[in-house]
Amino acid sequence: MRLLLISCLFVFSSLYAKDSLQVHFSSWPAHADIYIGSRPTSFSKKASFSTPATIKLAQDTPSVTITLFKANYADTTLDVKIIPNINNEAFLFVLLSEELNEKKLNIQKRELAARTRRTYGQHLLWCTIPAAVATIVNGFILQHHINEANATSKKVDRILIRQTDEFKSLKNDFRHHTHLAENFKNGTLFSAGATALFLVVGFTLSF
């Protein structure tokens, strides 16, 4: 049984390897952003990969254009001809040179600052989810206590003798639901305001 399982895994892995080409990217220094395809007009958007990374490409990919970006180093664009080994793997190592041009360094700083703002914006957009959920939950609870307060108020109006324990109990229930309704109203307004704020600021910073 174990031999059969190993054989099946070997067959599946072999078939999978034939369908894709694995390119191993590395650089010195490491943690450089990898942009696949045409050179980006700006590096303010973080790349999907950074060195070291293994990127899967189509089996018949003859070449690929990559751009490496790392703060304080010259960004590098290369047209790489891919010659895979028998395992459908290719390896690329890039030695980055230090950026000495002050103008380009200042451009990098601005782009990295824009990237940081975009990251904060995306985090704020994620914050809209719990804030929106809190708004919905508070709204449902608010409506519940409003309904209970209205129902209790109708019961109070139907009681003719106002000095009974039942009347006092209903009045207490009415005050209780009214008080909670006011609290959840404030909570709903606060969470709705937070949702709108996160959404507006998040979109502003993200683009």
In degrees rounded to 5, what are phi and psi of residue 95?
A: -95, 115
pLDDT band at 144 (very low <50, low <70, confident <90, very high): very high
pLDDT band at 5 (very low <50, low <70, confident <90, very high): very low
Looking at residue 18, its pLDDT comes to: 54
Q: Check pLDDT > 60 for residue 10.
A: no
pTM: 0.68
Q: Which residue has the tokens 């703002």?
A: 117
Q: pLDDT tens across 168-178, in order?
A: 898 899 999 99
| Continuous segment of H or E residues that includes residue 7 | helix 2-19
Q: pLDDT tens across 89-132, in order?
A: 999 999 999 999 999 999 999 999 999 999 999 999 999 999 99
Looking at residue 7, its pLDDT comes to: 33
* Pairing label, strands 53-58, 76-81: unpaired
What fold, for 19-100?
A: Immunoglobulin-like (2.60.40)
CB contact at 8 A, 42 and 109: no
The terminus-to-terminus CA distance of the chain in angstroms comes to: 55
In degrees rounded to 5, what are phi and psi of residue 163?
A: -105, 15
pLDDT band at 16 (very low <50, low <70, confident <90, very high): very low
Q: pLDDT tens across 122-140, in order?
A: 999 999 999 999 999 999 9
Q: Check pLDDT > 50 for residue 2.
A: no
Specify the 3-state DSSP secondary structure of 60: coil
